[in-house]
Homo-oligomer: A and B are copies of this chain.
């Protein structure tokens, strides 16, 4: 079950998928005869899920501290923890547990913010390579004396650029085709102008893509206007950071002209709906962005979003869009409460988590189709004790899909493959 295009569900039944030694799908068709792995009758195969934005060194605090505003959450909890994750001993505990758990949740591709430390960032890339997760791993660049604590920042703009370059080289030297570097200025409040300019240059010189946060919250939105006299998006564009496949996390407060800039550059947004409820002060208008032709993927924003895996995030994306459409304040009349035509369907959300994410990353994943890599997960139906139950009396393809996306618990994910290799599951 998959969404080749936004809002379009495709259900293939009784098919055999042939995968070559490079992990690429070479045929999909009806066939009898023996197969390497038979899902059986009570399973559904989905394309691998793409988490287009998450913070690896925040994994140990997943689920905590969500009552704090973004700035306080960063300074009192998040930066200290990220600092701890520059210790190789702690990173050696956290990275494998995190990557294995995300794989078990069906996250076949992850786009990581790592730490400011080159060594533990490379360790993360190695862990992904070893456990078989497709990943972009970014050493975080942050040198601004105003927006970062002195105990967790790059010494200056040159160090920001040099260490980013070094991290690229180290990750590329791992020689794993699934694991790639990504240039990662944290966000404008944490970066000096010199660093932002230099990192844009580094992207041009190395051909390595970029990611950063953009207009996540009221605070960040107004910070940019205060500092740059323009929107965060326009500022990033001015620094040369909005390039093909640049991933802008959140983007809740992007205006129409910002969306134009993103679209025209071939960049896109990592939409992180659950996190946004806590830290963005507003709902990202996903439908508006998709309608405008902007590439949109889905992200957990771990640990700002306190939930691993993309299936729950699909449900959160639909729920957020409903809050945006209907509004929230019962004290207002219905017509002044929300923003009409904002709702998205579960197929739109799944598209963002798969095909849309693949487009955002420009990778041949997100769809089980000839020429694409075999990244997939199998979901078991009617497991005893699971809420994911089909009733032959009432269920058909569309309903099964919606149930799978909304109800599959981690334990219902029976097998996960990345590039043809089984990376999680018991079978």
From residue A48, how far is it (CB to closest CB) to chain B in Å?
17
Determine if A306 and B64 form an interchain contact, defined as CB atoms under 8 angstroms apart.
Answer: no
On whether A282 and B403 interact (CB within 8 A), knowing A277-B319, A308-B387, the answer reads no
A84-119 with Cβ < 8 A to chain B: 84, 90, 93-94, 97, 100-101, 104-105
Determine if A407 and B63 form an interchain contact, defined as CB atoms under 8 angstroms apart.
Answer: yes
Determine if A406 and B329 form an interchain contact, defined as CB atoms under 8 angstroms apart.
Answer: no
Tell me the bound Cα distance from A415 to B307 in angstroms: 23
Determine if A326 and B409 form an interchain contact, defined as CB atoms under 8 angstroms apart.
Answer: no
Asked whether any CB of chain B lies closer than 8 Å to the CB of A367, the reply is no
Closest to A222 in B: B334
Contacting residue for A329 out of B283, B331, B345, B405, CB 8 A: B283
From residue A314, how far is it (CB to closest CB) to chain B in Å?
12
On whether A393 and B84 interact (CB within 8 A), knowing A282-B326, A339-B329, A407-B62, the answer reads yes
A48-71 with Cβ < 8 A to chain B: 60-67
Determine if A334 and B409 form an interchain contact, defined as CB atoms under 8 angstroms apart.
Answer: no
Asked whether any CB of chain B lies closer than 8 Å to the CB of A318, the reply is yes
Tell me the bound Cα distance from A84 to B424 in angstroms: 39
Asked whether any CB of chain B lies closer than 8 Å to the CB of A218, the reply is yes
Asked whether any CB of chain B lies closer than 8 Å to the CB of A26, the reply is no
Contacting residue for A63 out of B65, B324, B328, B406, CB 8 A: B406
Q: Which residues of B contact A322 (CB under 8 A)?
A: 277-278
Determine if B329 and A324 form an interchain contact, defined as CB atoms under 8 angstroms apart.
Answer: yes
Tell me the bound Cα distance from A100 to B218 in angstroms: 45
Contacting residue for A394 out of B67, B84, B410, CB 8 A: B84
- Interface 0/1 of A249-290, CB less than 8 Å to B: 000110000000000000000000010011001111100000
Asked whether any CB of chain B lies closer than 8 Å to the CB of A33, the reply is no
Asked whether any CB of chain B lies closer than 8 Å to the CB of A372, the reply is no
Query: Closest 3 interchain pairs by CB?
Result: A282-B330, A63-B406, A63-B403
Q: Which residues of A contact B (CB under 8 A)?
A: 60-67, 81, 84, 90, 93-94, 97, 100-101, 104-105, 218, 252-253, 274, 277-278, 281-285, 306-308, 315, 318-320, 322-324, 326-331, 334, 337-339, 343, 345-346, 385-389, 391, 393-395, 399, 402-403, 405-407, 409-411, 424
